[in-house]
């Protein structure tokens, strides 16, 4: 089965460090989403792309977060500088972009900022 691939699966780093999370969407999927999941806030949409163009990044703290799609096979989410409150599980999801298409999720990156 085709899957969304996220790396790394776990990341522990100190406050102030740059963090980069990567996502390889399913081949042929043209819409990519980044979510953050915490116990307190649940699933929050951070940003999403259609055909590599950012459509909405209103969920991201702009001063420290950035999301890009350098090409159709790679999406990145960067945090610089990282803070302890950024500790969460970050999910990438992709879909075909059509009406009713389900999202396919990666396994997530568990990020811990010390």
Partner 1 sequence: AQTVTQSQPEMSVQEAETVTLSCTYDTSESDYYLFWYKQPPSRQMILVIRQEAYKQQNATENRFSVNFQKAAKSFSLKISDSQLGDAAMYFCAYRSATGNQFYFGTGTSLTVIP
Residues that bind partner 1 (CB under 8 A): 31, 33, 42-43, 45, 48, 50, 55-56, 89, 91, 93, 97, 99-105, 107-108, 110
- Tell me how far apart the alpha carbons of residues 81 and 63 are, in angstroms, rounded to a whole number: 9
Task: Specify the DSSP class assigned to residue 26.
Answer: P
Measure the CA angle with vertex 96, ends 95 and 99; round to 5°: 100
Rounded least distance, CB 93 to partner 1, Å: 7
> At closest approach, how far in Å is the CB of 50 from partner 1?
6
Closer Cβ to partner 1, 59 or 81, answer by number: 59
CB of 17 or CB of 107, closer to partner 1: 107
Length of the chain: 114
Distance CA 50, CA 81 (A): 27
* Nearest approach, Cβ of residue 112 and partner 1 (Å): 14
């Amino acid at each position: 089965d085709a899957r969304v691939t996220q790396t790394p699966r776990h990341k522990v780093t100190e406050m102030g460090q740059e963090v980069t999370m990567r996502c390889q969407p399913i081949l042929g999927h043209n819409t990519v989403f980044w979510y953050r999941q915490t116990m307190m806030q649940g699933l929050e949409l951070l940003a999403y792309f259609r055909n590599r163009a950012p459509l909405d990044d209103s969920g991201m703290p702009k001063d420290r977060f950035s999301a890009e799609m350098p090409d159709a096979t790679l999406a990145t989410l960067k945090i610089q500088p990282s803070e302890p409150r950024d500790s969460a599980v970050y999910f990438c999801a992709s879909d075909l972009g059509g009406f009713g298409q389900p999202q396919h999720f990666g396994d997530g990156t568990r990020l811990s900022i010390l």
